Structure 1
Amino acid sequence: MASRLDIGGGQEHKGSDYRPGGRRRHTSTGRRRPCTGGSPTPRHGTAAPPTGWRQGWRPPPTRHSPPALRGDRVPDWIRNAVFWHVYPLGFLGAERDAGPQTPVTHRLRRLEPWLDYAADLGASGLMLGPIFASSTHGYDTLDHFRIDPRLGDDADFDALAGAAKARGMRLVLDGVFNHLGRGHPAFTEVLAQGRSAPRADWFRLSWPRGDGPGQTPDYATFEGHGELPALDHDNPAVADLVADVMTHWLRRGADGFRLDAAYAVPTRFWATVMARVRTACPDAYVFGEVIHGDYAGFVREARIDATTQYELWKAIWSAIVDQNFFELAWAMTRHEALLDTFVPQTFLGNHDVTRLASRIVDERHVAHAVVILFTCAGTPSIYAGDEQGFRGFKEDRPGGDDDVRPAFPETPDGLAPYGWPMHELHRSLIALRRLNPWLHAARTRSVALANHHMVYETRGAGGESLTVALNLSDRDITETAPGAARVIAGAATLGRSGTAKATVTLPPHGWAILAP
């Protein structure tokens, strides 16, 4: 798709007793960054490079004025952002299940050496999967105000947030607010006390067998999962809870939130919550998980910054696998229309889907997908391991996510050697993107299109442009590439370079990025 606070480094956990209207002022000995004012130093402006490993060339700082977008003000820092996305419970090898007596294991700090790896890759931010207390996979929240003991405690979070800030990196958390875990104290109260439970109105309940103590109600769930009772988003107390959780962690050091299963929650609820979050933390970036439907309408009504772009994700790998670039061209047209309202959060993989290298069987074509991601508009993320060519299949069964949520070695030095060529491809394309920040909201048009090959131009509001050429076939292809004068990535031969009649010739299964 997680919840109590360790006060002042001790073991007194208060979050499970949270009740809107009687909200606690949570305090901490850890570092807090105020939500209002100030920003971390941009990563490429930091004086000290990452230490200990694979230090190399970094793009210089860039100053730019991206095109203005309609809707709520988007935080300036997001316009040049690239996220490295980690599912912590899997990445750090946490136990599958957590019980009431699960001891605190300080795993979060093991992410710190990986921050240097992510920074060297070119990422400007760390996007974390669920880290709040839960029973199993992190999406069955037990306490939104407490770090999952399998990952650590508040001090570990503070240390990780501080380490990210020291590298100029942003930190985005995963907020699960459509539902709770069945073991959340608010729901166990309902099971024990019936309709009279103090937080019974947090849920959508009916009582066909009676509503007294010990009676089990029927209740709304997340997509039929009985362990995930859905919240009642028409209840103002639930909006209070969500706004308090978000502002608490934003004040503690986070820079934004991914809203899990945002599509399952009424947009009017998000609008209510976002009004409070924006007031307290105007520089926060908040995007919602939305799979189908009207992305632009959702953003407008929910007053969030963006949604996930599953339509483009599907079109990228499907067009390559089926060798049908017409599908990609259609999706790009729809993608461009979204830019009138917002810039989507784009990706090739995440913790819920089969890995790219397993989707695209012909490994010669995986690079084509990465090229598309980093030359199209969006706020891109790389799911940890994809940049190393990891494989893994998502299956519709209990434990079917395990293959795409593996444990990683203690440090990057433990990675297998076969993944480094793919890593270097990602690194070079991220560098190119960060040197061309206008790509964040660039407009794209097809120049040449066939089933097996495609040439498209991507253009910024200030007249900047790049041309991308892709070939999936077993033969050379030559197509028009107006104005192209230089090959800046990939391999190609240009004809009549720099003219309106310029052409590009690609080798079999090749790709290239061209500049004027």
Structure 2
Amino acid sequence: MIWERVTMAWYDTAVFYQIYPLGLCGCAHENDGQPTPGAFAKLNAWAEHASKDLGCTAIYIGPLFESGSHGYDTIDYRRVDRRLGTNEEFREFVANCHARGQKVIVDGVFNHVGRDFFAFKDLQANRENSRYKDWFCDVNFWGNNEYNDGFSYGNWGGFNLLVKLNQRNPEVQNYHYDTIRFWVDAFDIDGIRLDAADVLDFDFMKGLRRLANEVKPEFWLMGEVIHGDYSRWANPEMLHSVTNYELHKGLWSGHNDHNYFEIAHTMRRLQGLCHDTRLYTFSDNHDVERLPNKLRNKAHIRHIAILVYTLWGIPSIYYGSEFGIEGKKEWGSDWPLRPCLELDKFRDDLTTNPVTSVYAALGRLKAEYPALSWGEVKELQLTTQCYAFARVLDGKALVAVFNNGDGPAEMEFQLPVEANTATDLLADTVGAENVMVSLASGRMKVQLPSNYATVLRLD
């Protein structure tokens, strides 16, 4: 399949840095109404680090709207969570990001609200007489719940803390449309990540796409979708992209099982379904355990970072992952995945940590080589232990090579383009090892050390 540069939207070449602000800033887990001192100064410092040290061109920060606890039980769609600060401080944060050349997207939790949302409070007070009773799904005034509301209602995930909105209701739709207009007009944001997009109404998402086309050029809609045919959500009528959980699973389990067929098959399947749509690619995020906690061999963090940046998609880094930090769910809580971190404690990592070094180098490669954004993906060799593919553009190629085995491996395959020499573009990273490459008679031989991966430029 040949990928054509038919558009040059900012998100086509973006590298995202994801920040979970309530966790990073050490905010109270329950909203006590008190701001965390210096929160936005800290967030700005991390966004600057993402730009300067890692080459990230976009910030996904969220959840951000006023909520009762973890951020996804929204109380006020027009206010920054007061634990973080004020609307004015966020406006300055976005301006700082834009000055650095970074786009900013935020969470839009449009499927459900918290119990303190104004319309639900009205429903509690006025029951059958509430003008907002049709804003919510499956309201049953003959039922009850653990809060003893004297009625029951639809929710998300079985949690009555998260009240399901009726997205078929035109008033609800227009309320959310106005929310997006507000965040664009007041803060100049560049996109929305739609929480729980896999349960959002399809017609509602089509309305969001029409609105996105109106509010700002190249306003980006990305949806949280776990399983299924991603093209049902990511297509010209609905969302620009969705979270690539299918590849996320393959990235770590394919290495744990020494099975590159899983990763290669996943990419073939997704390209068959989604064609040239770029999916949002990640190794970990605020809902899943950190990569070091899932890998049997932490040396494979390097492999997965390279795959995230070199496969077809939109690469992203979850804050702290560039330092190889751990994070594991405890007693069903996600907060250990969303830690409070101090950037100063990681300053030495910029020059000594192999994980940090490879992420920084990949950011530079992404900026320097258009093939990593636009190049055709050509599979060159595939075994359970070894994987090689090229990104080819305008007669030039970058070749990513991987060995997940505990012993050295030799690979041989046909050159994807005419070339005389090969250069290891990650040879200067911390912990880099020697890779032997020879080119002859249109063939390429690569000798990789055990549990090692790199990116080669063909000249």
Structure-1-length-normalised TM-score = 0.80
Q: One-letter code of the match for 2:392? A: R
Secondary structure at the counterpart of residue 454 of structure 2 = strand
Compare 299-308 and 465-474 and name the one that shifted more: 299-308
Q: Would the aligned equivalents of 2:12 and 2:278 in 1 still touch at CA under 8 Å?
A: no
Q: Give the corresponding residue for 2:180.
A: 246
Secondary structure at the counterpart of residue 503 of structure 1 = strand
Deviation at 1:114, TM superposition (A): 2.0
Q: Give the corresponding residue for 2:431.
A: none
Structure-2 separation of matches of 1:441 and 1:303: 23
Deviation at 1:325, TM superposition (A): 0.8
Compare 276-285 and 297-306 and name the one that shifted more: 297-306
Structure-2 separation of matches of 1:402 and 1:308: 21
Structure-1 separation of matches of 2:172 and 2:334: 29
1:226 aligns with 2:160: yes
Q: Would the aligned equivalents of 2:138 and 2:154 in 1 still touch at CA under 8 Å?
A: yes
Secondary structure at the counterpart of residue 72 of structure 2 = coil
Matches within 5 A, 1:341-490: 341-395=276-330, 397=332, 400-409=333-342, 412-415=343-346, 417=348, 420-460=353-393, 462-483=394-415, 485-486=421-422, 487-490=424-427
Distance change (3 Å), C-alpha of 1:391 and 1:341: same
Q: Would the aligned equivalents of 1:192 and 1:215 in 2 still touch at CA under 8 Å?
A: no
Deviation at 1:134, TM superposition (A): 0.4
Q: Give the corresponding residue for 1:112.
A: 44
Structure-1 separation of matches of 2:140 and 2:249: 42
Secondary structure at the counterpart of residue 136 of structure 1 = coil
Q: Would the aligned equivalents of 1:338 and 1:344 in 2 still touch at CA under 8 Å?
A: no
Structure-1 separation of matches of 2:290 and 2:303: 15
Q: Give the corresponding residue for 1:273.
A: 208
Distance change (3 Å), C-alpha of 1:103 and 1:458: closer
Deviation at 1:426, TM superposition (A): 0.2
State the superposition RMSD in angstroms: 2.2
1:335 aligns with 2:277: no
1:153 aligns with 2:86: yes
1:493 aligns with 2:436: yes
Q: Give the corresponding residue for 2:430.
A: none
1:515 aligns with 2:446: no
Distance change (3 Å), C-alpha of 1:471 and 1:153: same
Secondary structure at the counterpart of residue 217 of structure 1 = coil
Deviation at 1:503, TM superposition (A): 0.9
Compare 80-89 and 353-362 and name the one that shifted more: 353-362
Secondary structure at the counterpart of residue 299 of structure 1 = coil
Deviation at 1:177, TM superposition (A): 0.5
Aligned residues: 438
Deviation at 1:415, TM superposition (A): 2.2
Structure-2-length-normalised TM-score = 0.90
Q: Give the corresponding residue for 1:31.
A: none
1:168 aligns with 2:101: yes
Q: Would the aligned equivalents of 2:110 and 2:194 in 1 still touch at CA under 8 Å?
A: yes
Compare 138-147 and 373-382 and name the one that shifted more: 373-382
Q: Would the aligned equivalents of 2:137 and 2:166 in 1 still touch at CA under 8 Å?
A: yes
Structure 2 spans left out of the alignment, 5+ residues: 428-433
Match of residue 202, structure 1, among 135, 152, 156:
135
Percent of aligned pairs sharing the same letter: 30
Deviation at 1:381, TM superposition (A): 0.9
Per-residue CA deviations over 1:101-148 (Å, capped at 9, x if unaligned) read: 545755223212223211121111111011110000000000010111
Q: Would the aligned equivalents of 1:194 and 1:215 in 2 still touch at CA under 8 Å?
A: no
Q: Would the aligned equivalents of 2:139 and 2:154 in 1 still touch at CA under 8 Å?
A: no
Q: One-letter code of the match for 1:119? A: S
Secondary structure at the counterpart of residue 116 of structure 1 = helix
Deviation at 1:499, TM superposition (A): 4.3
Distance change (3 Å), C-alpha of 1:347 and 1:306: same
Per-residue CA deviations over 1:249-291 (Å, capped at 9, x if unaligned) read: 1222211111111111121111012212321223211111111
Structure-2 separation of matches of 1:474 and 1:368: 14
